[in-house]
Amino acid sequence: MERLEDLLLLGFGHKKSVALSPMPQKVKALCRNRATKRWSTLLTQNKSRIGYNCGMRKRLGEIHWAAFVKFAETTHKEAFCQALTPASAVLRCEGRIEGTPCPKGFCIDLRSLSVVECGNELRGLHMDHTHDIKHVCKIWSQALPERPQSWDDGICGSLVAHLLFGVEDHVIAQCSDRPIWRKQVVPRCGDKRGVKGHHVDDFCHDIACAHYDCRLGVKDIRWPTAE
């Protein structure tokens, strides 16, 4: 039998070091939960923005709608949720939609906040769509045949999903190499609802104003061979 001293020299008996998350687990769980709720509001709750408010569940029918939800959850949900729990543990406003940097330099350091502080700060950071959701759904609906045989009948489904949920650049563009394949949902600072003294001009995102200057057309999402 080996002596205890020899076993320790060989590494036995030492506890293995475990890589620690740069942010507290409770803070990470809060951010993850916030992202999941935003995903649900967009897609999976009964009166979701895409399915109910924009009418896409009725437009597609239950079978095709369920197929779209499954596709979106398979291809985009995890990245969408991770957008609020970055490896750097720092959430930053990406500036105004026209490209100017955030005048406030807004950022949330998830390593140094309590759960309560983090929850309050997250109220001022919005997942902002480059193309307004209602506009994307309107073009999507118009591009489909009168009686679609699938949720992406005749259109580039990957692009539609990317416009609605894409938080990363689409490296392998299936339809085009245009800028439209860059990430479409980005964090931007915005006024907090119900807080006095907040003026929209002081923030990068006006929660009451859609980006209707960013326009899409049916041809933008339809396959080139589609009539």
- 136 lies in some domain: yes
- 17 lies in some domain: no
Token pair for residue 179?
Answer: 């800028």
Token pair for residue 176?
Answer: 């085009």
- 227 lies in some domain: no
- 82 lies in some domain: yes
Residue 211: the pLDDT is 58
| Three-state DSSP class for residue 204 | coil
- Residue carrying the six token digits 């650049």: 169
Task: Assess contact for 134 and 54: CB atoms under 8 A.
Answer: yes
Residue 195: the pLDDT is 54
- 1 lies in some domain: no
Residue 182: the pLDDT is 85
Distance CA 225, CA 78 (A): 32
Residue 7: the pLDDT is 37
pTM of the model: 0.80
- 116 lies in some domain: yes
Distance CA 19, CA 116 (A): 25
| Three-state DSSP class for residue 32 | helix
Token pair for residue 158?
Answer: 């990957």
Mark the ranges of the chain whose per-residue pLDDT is less than 70. Answer: 1-21, 171-177, 191-202, 206-214, 224-227
- 226 lies in some domain: no
Backbone angles phi, psi at 91, to 5 degrees: -100, 125
Identify the helix (H) or strand (E) that includes residue 220. helix 218-221
Residue 169: the pLDDT is 86
Residue 193: the pLDDT is 57
Distance from the Cα of residue 53 to its chain's centroid: 19
User: Which residue segment(s) compose the domain that 195 sits in?
Assistant: 22-221
Which residue, 145, 216, 146, is CA-closest to 176? 216
In the chain, the number of structural domains is 1
Distance CA 124, CA 198 (A): 11
Residue 104: the pLDDT is 85
Residue 16: the pLDDT is 42
- 215 lies in some domain: yes
